[in-house]
Amino acid sequence: MITELEYLTAKKYALSLHTTTPELGLAISNFAGETRSDVWNLGRDLSSYVHQYLVDFIQPQTWEDLAFIAVAKGPGGFTGTRIGVVIARTLGQQLAIPVFAISTLAAVAWLEESKSKKGQAIAVEMPAQRGKVFAAIYQLTPDSSGITALLPDTVLTPEAWQETLANWNTDYQLIEAKSGLAATVTSVLELAYVEWQQGQRPNWSEALPYYGQHPVEV
């Protein structure tokens, strides 16, 4: 059975946010030739200025032009991740449009695959707190239209992660996600659009952050 894909009308747009690091990433597209994105290194000022940057960025489009929202759900910094997801949920609720929560690691893998086009599995690791690492392994779907998690996002010791890779039975490319992650905000948008085309319409209440670790050691 072949699922017929759905497309946005030319007058409708999708917006994505990436706040899991001290950088703010925003992207908007109608997936018909008009896409723009930008990244700002706001540091600790992210929480204070994110709303103003968002209001300025969306112009000349309006909130009513949006068909759905996408947000990087983590892993990443606790405060930044929470801010992005809360904003996305609020917009989704107020505008009555779907909200897609996309893994930070999946966005990194999607961007890398779009550049390399090797088709092999992509292992992504990112520093976590207390000497741990966030880790996941992703691969393109057979029709290359999306991405699937061979090893879903998890938290491991470096030793356990290395053991996982040593025992992995297919070729993979290892990516270290250390900086510039907000630049994958367009990948967050693209992955959400793949799900939207497949008919998924997640309610805003389903968009939940992935922290992976408690912010305070217990």
Task: Look up the CATH number of the domain holding residue 161.
Answer: 3.30.420.200
Is position 216 within any domain?
Answer: no
- Model pLDDT for residues 19-60, shown as the tens digit of each residue: 999 999 999 999 998 999 999 999 989 999 999 999 999 999
- Model pLDDT for residues 82-104, shown as the tens digit of each residue: 999 999 999 999 999 999 999 99
- Residue 40 is part of which domain span? 13-103+180-206
Closest Cα to residue 189, out of 57, 23, 52, 67?
A: 67
Residue 10 has what DSSP assignment?
Answer: T
What residues contact residue 63 under an 8 Å CB cut-off, 6+ apart?
91, 94, 95
In terms of domains, do 184 and 96 share one?
yes
Listed as ranges, residues in the chain with pLDDT below 50 are 1-3, 216-218
CA distance 134 to 121: 17
Q: Write down the pLDDT at residue 21.
A: 93
How many domains in the chain?
Answer: 2
Torsion from C-alpha of 8, 13, 17, 18, nearest 10 degrees: 60
